Structure 1
Amino acid sequence: ETKANGVAASSSSTGVDRDGDVRMEDANGESCAAAAASPPSSPSSSCGDASHVSADRRDSDGGEEDRRRHHHHRRPEDEAHDDAEEEEEEEDDEEEFNPYLFIKSLPPYPLVVPHPHRRICLPPRDPVVDPPIALVLDLDETLVHCTVEPTPDADMVFPVVFNGVEYRVHVRCRPYLEEFLRRVSRDFEVIVFTASQRVYADELLNRIDPGGHYIKHRMFRESCLPVEGNYLKDLNVLGRDLSKAVLVDNSPHAFGYQVDNGVPIESWFDDPTDTELLKLERFLRTLHGVEDVRGPIREKFQTHRLVARA
């Protein structure tokens, strides 16, 4: 959720998928976000094909004259009926994806991941150097908001090359981001785990933490667990004790298999008065010294209850 210098809007489209991933599409509808590093049998990204969008628009434009021609024959009750249908469609769109219902309907973990130890992506924790608790942070809409649309108040802009085309990513950083990272890096093993592609996220993290002082490890889409078209963040890939692992994400379905390790956070786009990272840091401080982080997380956020009621 990058636009080339001099590339017309008609030849590229962009957006953000459900996992908060920045999406880049060329004129053929081929998407950087859709080109997941997971095996071909994995579910595809939720990105749409730009050619399909164009076809829908052509159909819509073609019917406009007919709609105008017959508009004067329409009765008031017809208009009211159409308004009601539009409202129902809007409500359906809002209810299209319920993360808690999705979690509730997940297949049993052993059926999806029969050999979790084979998916470990990180080197072992160094007990001499690394703090005891792994703090896993989502990226898009949790720490930053990125777009390819020109953004006058962007904190940074950087290029990403996809299919030979250079796109410009405009980045807004969530308020207090640097302060937050500086503080938590003292007491946690900080890991950024994103459903975004490495080609984009690596460049972004190089700018957020250029000296590598705050973020110990980076994990990208290839480390996610694709389930029913969604990317989950299975914390077993860390190779860490789950009693000492916290995942902060604005998409609750991301921690679907470890809900008591998951700390939900409000999605952020551009609110300059946002203080969620300060609140998060205060909560994380309460986890210092606890035997199992899952108890305090479960008690505070009650995600298990939201799943049960879904």
Structure 2
Amino acid sequence: MSLTLNEKDKRSLAALIQARMEEHISRFPFARYPIEPVEEWKRIFYDPISITPTTLKQSLSWHFGSWQRKDLALAHRKVISTIVVNWSEYIKNPYSLTDSLQFWQQKLPNWKTGFNAVAFLLHLTRPDSIELVDHHRLQAMTELLKEIKHKEAEQTFSLTLTDLECYSSFFRAVMPKLPFGLRNRILLDRFLKAYGNRCAYKNTHADYRTIEPEITTFSWNSFSAKHFDLTKITLRSNADILFACLLLSLDSHPNTLDGLTIGQIIERLPLGTANICNPASFNYAMIALFGNQKGRDYIHFENSTLTEAFTKQANQSTRNMRFYIHHSSERAILNPKYLRI
């Protein structure tokens, strides 16, 4: 079943979304839902027989907002475990979309949570048929349809193929009406996810914002800079990757090299940079970036005691993960050694 929208409906929905886009995208948890793994999984899931338990666990962890994290809720862990255990049985038959949903509904103990996970797997295996959908996106669609007084706005979720088809029709009807060009798809998807889940931010500070990473993937062999010599970075840990990303950012968007503050560096390197999405790993790397652990010499400070303080934090097992944030106003000077002469 598809959702019918006339041209007036499409334009009205696009106008509503465009007017609210910045507000909700600015709170989207980019590091929990990086797009690059999904594109790779679509390629891999084209052959379901080849899917390993590790890939299933990773992809479903992404779906539940725990990419590179170990904070999955018990209900989510149960869904993932059930899918992994039953995957070999599932792939024995070329199930239709309806049969796939019925198969998993019989296997999963909590269908509301399970439906979202199965919908994600169906998107990975059949992206041409099913868009990326979950209950947050369905909720966003329903609320937007109510605002334009669409006749099907009062339809309740059935947790069946009907929901998936209606949402896919909605998404594909509205997407071309947005003005963001090649980013229409990703911005619409992120907006609907954030808008449908906006209640999650009701207790956050009004000024709370997230920053989309400028560099989401990184390879030492694939990047070079015009004004900086990345070959002089000899270490290969996350801290060194972040420094390379900082140089690439400065190469693209120059700043006075002796006028940076730690806060300005933080703005250029948000969580998720170079696909470092685990907060603990990222924060440790940021602390190490500013110190001289393992001989690092990337940053100098006017306050000479700071380098030692950052190094001490990096070397101890019980460190203050927000240490670099507490010193965001300190002026940092890039080592001129990394400038191209």
TM-score range, shorter chain: under 0.3
Find the structure with the greater CA-based Rg: 2
Higher strand content, 1 or 2: 1
Task: Identify, as 1 or 2, the structure richer in helix.
Answer: 2
* TM-score computed with the length of structure 1 as normaliser: 0.25
- Normalised to the residue count of structure 2, the TM-score between the two structures is 0.24
